[in-house]
Amino acid sequence: MANSNIKFKTNYAVSSKIEPFYKGGKVQISKDEKYIFCTCGSRVNVLEISTGKIVHCVEHDDQEDITSFALSCDDEMLVTASRALLLKQWDWNQAKCTRSWKAIHTAPVASMTFDPTSTLLATGGCDGTIKLWDVVKQYCTHNLKGSPGVVHLLQFHPDIKRLHLFSSSMDCGIRVWDLRSSQCVCVLQSHYSAVTSLSFSRNGGTMISSGRDKICTVWDLKTRQAKRSVAVYEAVEGVVLLPEKTDLSQIGVKSKDLHFTTAGSKGVLRVWEASTARCVYTQTLLSTSIPVAEEDEENNPRGLTYLFHLPTSNRLVTVTAEHNILFYQLPGLTTQQQFVGYNDEVLDVKFLGKKDSHIVVATNSCQLKVFELLTNSCQILYGHTDTVLSLDVFKKDSLFASCAKDRSVRVWQMDSDSGLVRCVAQGCSHTNAVGSVSCSRMKASFIVTGSQDCTLKVWDLPAEFSRVATEIHQLRPRSTEKAHDKVKQPQFNKNMESRVLLCLRGCFTLLTLKYDPACCFLNVTIINSLCSSSFILLQTFEGHDASVLKVIFVSRGSQLLTSGSDGLVKLWTIKTNECVKTLDAHQDKVWGLHGSHKDDKIVTGSADSNIIVWEDVTEVELAEEQAKQEDQILKQQELSNLLHEKKYVKALGLAISLDQPHTVLTVIKAIRQSEHSRDLLESTLLKLRVDQKEALLRYCVVWNTNARNCLDAQSVLQVLLTHLPPEELLQFQGARTHLEGLIPYTERHMERLDRLLQASMFLSYMWQKMRVAGAASSVDQDEEMDTTPLTQTQPLFFVDKDKAKGSSDERRGNDSDCGQDEDPDCCREEEQEEEEVVEVSAAQKASKRRQVESRTNGNHSESEESSEDEDVTDQTEEGMKNLSVSPPPLPPRSQTVS
């Protein structure tokens, strides 16, 4: 009777996402310290620091990777550079491109920076040149040459009056450019490896440079001399001068001398005193982290790649090699916020904390990540030494367990007040990777683990854990059972062979997953445990197109949620054996699946690096969502019908109303494939409204970036630019930007066509030469090669004209004497017996001559070719009998060629 009041879950919708926003490259923080700008392939993502959400996304239409970007000092303009050698200026608040122009560089742009006035933009290219652009007046002001190799570092002097630009390239020197004279005034030589960052003092008289040669140099910019070199014993990627009028005694700053902070390959922040070259403070690593050997520093996943100082909030920001962004609060360098830019494959995920405020995530690494859902801030937990494979949580006390390939199981506890998580227990008795772990549900008393060593272990937990952060309780297994001899634990980066997962729910339900290699899906089986040695099969659910990876209970055990390798999450009702909902939002295997305590939310984690929180939606929200989907389906069906009926004007208008450039392109392609396509396209486009033509022009900019679609874009542009007056075109919103964006790609398409034309002409030339060579090679070796054109080829045989004339008359007489009633074969034996071998050779040469001339005069008609062949045959037959060269002796009759 109790189950009759249970409300079944029928609908889950996406509530929030934790997705990759940074995959390496440049990072910049806005001047107001509210946003983080970072590259992610062909996009620049704007992350709001307070919420941890991606609020804006700037992406190039050509899908080319962004090589560099720069945010102006007033936080108004964002300029990006892509591999297509195109610079774009953005209103990043609206994610709208306001201007685009072609970079003059001959290689991709590697570095960019704005001057303090946000007027000048400097770009350093892989071609060794530096360009300066006036972004207000929109023209190039300087072209600075002389840097060898890639210009990977650019920075203006903070004092505007000096008009100095500092750059560094492959020669490890720091060049100082005077923008008034456009000359390099000096080269600061001190480093023996790449210079990574520069930091200026408040008065602008002192500069500190860092490099991968494990040295920091203090420069006096007045004398342009090195005051001191500081050996830091690690490859330094970032250096920051600490504020002078701030109490930083907690990190070792006890004098008024100049101090600076370094970040590098060791993954820790260190504070140095410039005058004495002495390290006064070293950041303490977590006790559970593993020290990095000196030879492994270059591949240290915790190595730091960027270092920033935020003066308003007095914070330091670091970026790690694992794409994590960490905020530290001065003066104590306490960790304030952490953002994970890239999670790699998500192997497991669970809700954690009061009211499910956090989630704990196991990714394809040895670290655990605990996200706060409200702010997306993350704690990174170090402890395991190999990939973490599985997680499970206890019902209370914010405890959870993890197991990994390092053959260990760990228990973690979250502090209810601070939200900090620490390891409280550890067990290491398995002899192989531990692939699954399950926690007791009634109280935190034991855990069960399953390992690739084919054993199950039960571990008892203490009643209380030590409050000392450094003490970790050592677990001992209470019992060990051998199970599933033929089962191997999954290798998460390879194809799954088989897997067993244990889920304990009270003492009654045991749920197993078994992979059948003979079929492409897993059967989900529910087994009711009546006693320890008796099991009864209840039901089997089939529906996934690939392996089932996770199963959980929802709705007080009356429903199931399953996730599979097909990227789907399915909701099942146990009583009716029915799939009531399929959730499709992932593009890869869904390894992680967990439900909240109230079953009103679920969280999924996938191999596509995305973590999605789903929330149970109301019927009204579901109806609205379904109405939108049905409306989209109806429009798509109507569009297909219009295309089938060849009503292209209505089809094009409907496609534009959907605001789907790909759909519009489909209609354009359909028009261009029909009869009289040029006239039909022209008449169709001219019937569109002004706003539709404006949208079409915007779409053409996107299509023109792809060589496959450029012909369609150029056909549309030809109609628009031919029939629309310039005054009307200029009234289109963003017309100037669109036209500027069309120019560089159109030039690229024309250059490609020119290259193809030249290549085709070269092939044609080579073919003609090969034909000439083929004709000459067919001549008898005793004769000289004929190098004259084929149209003026000389006869292949030299004939005595007088003898040829007489022989011709004689032959005609002989032919006339031969009666028609006589057998032709007999006539041939009597008259041509002595010349038989010579005629065979002549026939072969005549055949070759006809082949050569037929290839040369391929443009003639068949009748002309046949007549020419007959003339050549007659001349050859008449001339062969009158050769000035005597024929060879006849062979015996038995050897005569027939």
Condensed to tens digits (0 to 9), the pLDDT of residues 166-195 reads 999 999 999 999 999 999 999 999 999 999
- Who wins on pLDDT, 358 or 779? 358
Say yes or no to pLDDT of 812 above 90.
no
Say yes or no to pLDDT of 815 above 60.
no
Cis peptide before 331 (omega within 30 of 0): yes
Confidence at residue 881, expressed as pLDDT on a 0 to 100 scale: 42
pLDDT band of residue 529 (cuts 50, 70, 90) is very low
Query: Cβ neighbours of residue 770 under 8 Å, at least 6 residues apart?
Result: none
Which residue's entry shows tokens 């009702």? 573
Mean pLDDT of 633-655: 82
Strands 164-168 and 153-156: antiparallel
Confidence at residue 626, expressed as pLDDT on a 0 to 100 scale: 65
Say yes or no to pLDDT of 510 above 50.
no
Query: Taking Cα atoms as reference points, which of 92, 541, 37, 114 lies closest to residue 325?
Result: 37
Say yes or no to pLDDT of 724 above 80.
yes
% pLDDT > 90, the chain:
27
Query: Cβ neighbours of residue 564 under 8 Å, at least 6 residues apart?
Result: 521, 522, 544, 545, 546, 547, 548, 549, 570, 589, 590
Confidence at residue 154, expressed as pLDDT on a 0 to 100 scale: 95
Query: Measuring CA to CA, how many Å separate 308 from each of 22, 28, 244, 431?
Result: 17, 9, 16, 45
Query: Measuring CA to CA, how many Å separate 145 from each of 82, 133, 174, 820?
Result: 21, 15, 14, 95
Condensed to tens digits (0 to 9), the pLDDT of residues 755-790 reads 888 888 888 888 888 877 765 544 444 444 444 444
Least confidently predicted of 104-118, 439-453, 833-847, 873-887: 873-887
- Who wins on pLDDT, 616 or 758? 758
Mean pLDDT of 316-337: 90
Least confidently predicted of 257-261, 313-317, 484-488: 484-488
Which range, 658-662, 748-752, 866-870, is most confident? Answer: 748-752
Say yes or no to pLDDT of 734 above 70.
yes
Condensed to tens digits (0 to 9), the pLDDT of residues 20-77 reads 899 888 999 999 999 999 998 888 999 999 888 899 999 877 678 899 999 999 999 9
The whole-chain average pLDDT of the chain stands at 77
Condensed to tens digits (0 to 9), the pLDDT of residues 290-299 reads 455 554 566 6
Mean pLDDT of 394-411: 88
Confidence at residue 343, expressed as pLDDT on a 0 to 100 scale: 84
Backbone angles phi, psi at 30, to 5 degrees: -65, 160
Q: What is the DSSP string of 88-124?
A: EEEETTTTEEEEEEE---SS-EEEEEE-TTS-EEEEE
Report the C-alpha gap between 698 and 87 in whole angstroms: 18
- Who wins on pLDDT, 596 or 91? 91
Which residue's entry shows tokens 């029915």? 578
Mean pLDDT of 68-90: 92
With both helix axes pointing from N to C terminus, report the angle between 710-723 and 677-686 in degrees, rounded to the nearest 10: 60
Confidence at residue 803, expressed as pLDDT on a 0 to 100 scale: 43
Confidence at residue 426, expressed as pLDDT on a 0 to 100 scale: 93
Say yes or no to pLDDT of 818 above 80.
no
Confidence at residue 236, expressed as pLDDT on a 0 to 100 scale: 94
Say yes or no to pLDDT of 880 above 60.
no
Please report, to the nearest 10 degrees, the dihedral formed by the alpha carbons of residues 850, 855, 858, 863 taken in order: 10
Report the C-alpha gap between 220 and 475 in whole angstroms: 59
Handedness of CA 835, 837, 840, 844 (dihedral sign): negative
Least confidently predicted of 359-363, 526-530, 581-585, 718-722: 526-530
